[in-house]
């Protein structure tokens, strides 16, 4: 049976060794034969013996249910070594479905050097039928980051680790994540010589409600949207009026602290500064906004008479802006998203979405061609 690594076979093998050790010990104490037999059977085939005979309830336990019913979502519980071993405890949690049990499984699987299975367990917490609490999500994200590091791809877990830092409530988890205040990014401005960004002051916005804004932290992704309003005009004055309409809707009708997007691109290819980049946006729903730059192209990019296609100037400006943000904040094409990656929505519209897909494909191939974001009329 050399090399046999099935969980069932390995488990029985481990139990057989434990049985032999236990029987040797008990025999030396001259216990009756029936007691020796019961002890052996309970270890080799635990399902054959009532667990209440062999196990005493934990202090404070609710009943005697096996399968992690007494686990709590805390570092002292989830990150502790397996008892008596990680493999043995994993068997006990095999059919458990609570968030705490799934998280415990994820960390035990990491202890057993099974990162792929740990990713699956963490995903059940993050994407299961019940939305996780902030504390649960922090531990799940930490497990994912550790699993990716174990697989040799730590960059894939950077986003999860950053979200975990943002959400972590447990002091020990914070220590392991090495939480530090995140430095604010530099104010938006041109990095590439061809990219020009119209200042926020130019479109005369309403003052933001800063009490309703949160720090963005270091950006790790960027999401493309459309305004869903038919808009073809290339004049500066009409673009300014459109930005003011969007900000007014966001602040007065949706109770946002400011316009939701960090950048907006008009049909002439002008890139306008929206919400200051040091603040988290309001464009991708809840935690999806964390470290996420929101970019909106003005227009309604749906099919039919109510829709339109993005102009070549908008596409060129979008490519330039995305490439610049990725270079400035050191993330790659895996960080490029469209709105419907995060929720069921038609945004950014079927006429814009393939354009974003083309950009992502070019970035993966190392192609950063842009036509420049500059347009006449600046």
- What pLDDT, on the 0 to 100 scale, is given for residue 152? 84
Say whether both 333 and 301 belong to one domain.
Answer: yes
Say whether both 148 and 221 belong to one domain.
Answer: no
29: left (phi over 0), alpha (psi -120 to 50) or beta: alpha
Contact indicator for 253, 314 with CB cutoff of 8 Å: no
- Residue after which a domain boundary falls, among 115, 143, 177: 177
Say whether both 250 and 345 belong to one domain.
Answer: yes
- What pLDDT, on the 0 to 100 scale, is given for residue 82? 85
- Asked if residue 155 belongs to a domain, the reply is yes
- What pLDDT, on the 0 to 100 scale, is given for residue 182? 39
Share above pLDDT 70 across residues of the chain, in percent, rounded to a whole number: 74
Say whether both 303 and 248 belong to one domain.
Answer: yes
Which pairs from 181-188 meet CB under 8 Å and 24+ separation? 182/215, 182/217, 182/218, 183/218, 184/215, 184/216, 184/278, 185/216, 185/217, 185/218, 185/219, 185/277, 185/278, 185/328, 185/329, 187/276, 187/277, 187/278, 188/262, 188/263, 188/273, 188/276, 188/277
- Asked if residue 186 belongs to a domain, the reply is no
What length does the chain have?
378
Tens of pLDDT along 25-39?
545 544 455 444 444
Those residues whose C-beta lies under 8 Å from the C-beta of residue 235, and which sit 6 or more positions away, are: 377
Average pLDDT over residues 340-361: 93
How far is Cα 326 from Cα 158, in angstroms, rounded to an integer? 14
Per-residue pLDDT band at 377 (split at 50, 70, 90): very low
- What pLDDT, on the 0 to 100 scale, is given for residue 367? 67
Q: How many CA atoms lie within 13 A of 70 on its CB side?
A: 11
Picking from 91, 93, 71, 92, the residue whose alpha carbon sits closest to that of residue 80 is 71
Contact indicator for 331, 363 with CB cutoff of 8 Å: no
Contact indicator for 314, 299 with CB cutoff of 8 Å: yes
Tens of pLDDT along 205-254?
999 999 999 999 999 999 999 999 999 999 999 999 999 999 999 999 99
Tokens at residue 358, please? Answer: 């083309």
Say whether both 88 and 233 belong to one domain.
Answer: no
- Asked if residue 166 belongs to a domain, the reply is yes
- Asked if residue 76 belongs to a domain, the reply is yes
> Sheet of 197-198: strands edge to edge?
197-198, 271-273, 263-265, 292-297, 221-226, 336-338
Say whether both 87 and 211 belong to one domain.
Answer: no
Tens of pLDDT along 275-288?
999 999 999 988 99
- Residue after which a domain boundary falls, among 177, 208, 234: 177
- Residue after which a domain boundary falls, among 177, 205, 226: 177
Say whether both 207 and 353 belong to one domain.
Answer: yes
Say whether both 283 and 147 belong to one domain.
Answer: no
CATH number at residue 126: 1.25.40
Q: Which residue has the higher pLDDT, 333 or 195?
A: 333
Q: Which residue has the higher pLDDT, 56 or 305?
A: 305
Average pLDDT over residues 185-204: 68
- Asked if residue 293 belongs to a domain, the reply is yes
Tokens at residue 243, please? Answer: 């930005």
Count up the domains in the chain and report the number: 2
Say whether both 138 and 259 belong to one domain.
Answer: no
Range(s) of the domain holding residue 205? 197-364
Per-residue pLDDT band at 101 (split at 50, 70, 90): very high
- Asked if residue 306 belongs to a domain, the reply is yes
Say whether both 134 and 18 belong to one domain.
Answer: yes
Per-residue pLDDT band at 91 (split at 50, 70, 90): confident
Per-residue pLDDT band at 375 (split at 50, 70, 90): very low
Tens of pLDDT along 120-130?
999 999 988 88
- Asked if residue 248 belongs to a domain, the reply is yes
Average pLDDT over residues 347-361: 94
- Asked if residue 374 belongs to a domain, the reply is no
Q: Which residue has the higher pLDDT, 203 or 23?
A: 203
Q: Which residue has the higher pLDDT, 57 or 18?
A: 18
Task: Evaluate if residue 180 carries a pLDDT over 70.
Answer: no
Which pairs from 341-349 meet CB under 8 Å and 24+ separation? 341/223, 342/223, 342/284, 342/285, 342/288, 343/284, 343/285, 343/288, 346/302, 347/225, 347/226, 347/228, 348/224, 348/225, 348/226, 348/297, 348/301, 349/226, 349/228, 349/300, 349/301, 349/302, 349/307
Mean pLDDT of the chain: 80
Say whether both 134 and 16 belong to one domain.
Answer: yes
- What pLDDT, on the 0 to 100 scale, is given for residue 261? 98
Q: Write down the pTM of the prediction.
A: 0.52
DSSP H or E segment with residue 336: strand 336-338
**Biggest CA pair distance of the chain:** 98
Give the range among 153-162, 213-222, 315-324, 337-346 with minimum mean pLDDT.
153-162
Which of 52-56, 79-83, 279-283 has the largest mean confidence?
279-283
Say whether both 252 and 131 belong to one domain.
Answer: no
Q: Cα–chain-centroid distance for residue 257?
A: 24
Tokens at residue 215, please? Answer: 């720090």
Q: Cα–chain-centroid distance for residue 261?
A: 20
- What pLDDT, on the 0 to 100 scale, is given for residue 84? 82
- What pLDDT, on the 0 to 100 scale, is given for residue 67? 53
């Amino acid at each position: 049976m050399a090399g046999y690594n099935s969980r069932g076979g390995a488990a029985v093998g481990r139990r057989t060794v434990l049985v032999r050790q236990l029987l040797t010990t008990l025999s030396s104490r001259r216990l009756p034969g029936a007691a020796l037999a019961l002890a052996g059977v309970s270890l080799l085939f635990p399902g054959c013996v009532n667990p209440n005979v062999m196990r005493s309830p934990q202090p404070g336990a609710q009943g005697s249910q096996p399968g992690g019913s007494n686990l709590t979502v805390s570092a002292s519980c989830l990150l502790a070594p397996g008892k008596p071993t990680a493999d043995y405890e994993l068997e006990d949690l095999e059919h458990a479905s609570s968030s705490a049990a799934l998280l415990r499984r994820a960390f035990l699987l990491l202890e057993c050097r099974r990162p792929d299975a740990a990713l699956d367990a963490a995903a059940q917490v993050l994407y299961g039928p019940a939305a996780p609490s902030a504390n649960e999500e922090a531990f799940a994200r930490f497990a994912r980051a550790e699993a990716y590091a174990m697989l040799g791809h730590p960059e894939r877990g950077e986003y999860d680790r950053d979200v975990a830092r943002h959400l972590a409530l447990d002091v020990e988890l914070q220590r392991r994540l090495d939480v530090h205040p995140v430095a604010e990014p530099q104010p938006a401005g041109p990095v590439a010589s061809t990219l020009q960004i119209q200042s926020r002051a130019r479109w005369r916005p309403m003052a933001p409600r800063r009490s309703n804004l949160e720090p963005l932290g270091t950006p790790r992704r960027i999401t493309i949207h459309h305004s869903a309003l038919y808009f073809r005009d290339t004049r500066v004055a009409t673009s300014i009026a459109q930005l003011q309409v969007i900000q007014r809707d966001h602040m007065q009708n949706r109770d946002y602290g400011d316009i939701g997007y960090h950048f907006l691109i008009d049909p002439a290819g002008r890139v306008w500064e929206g919400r200051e980049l040091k603040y988290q946006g309001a464009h991708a729903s809840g935690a999806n906004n964390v470290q996420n730059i929101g970019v909106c192209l003005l227009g309604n990019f749906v099919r039919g008479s109510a829709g339109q296609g993005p102009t070549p100037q908008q596409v060129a400006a979008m490519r330039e802006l995305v490439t610049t943000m990725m270079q400035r904040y050191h993330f790659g094409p895996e960080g490029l998203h469209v709105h419907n990656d995060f929720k069921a929505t038609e945004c950014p519209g079927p006429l814009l979405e393939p354009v974003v897909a083309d950009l992502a494909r070019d970035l993966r191939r190392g192609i950063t061609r842009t036509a420049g974001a500059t347009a006449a009329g600046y």
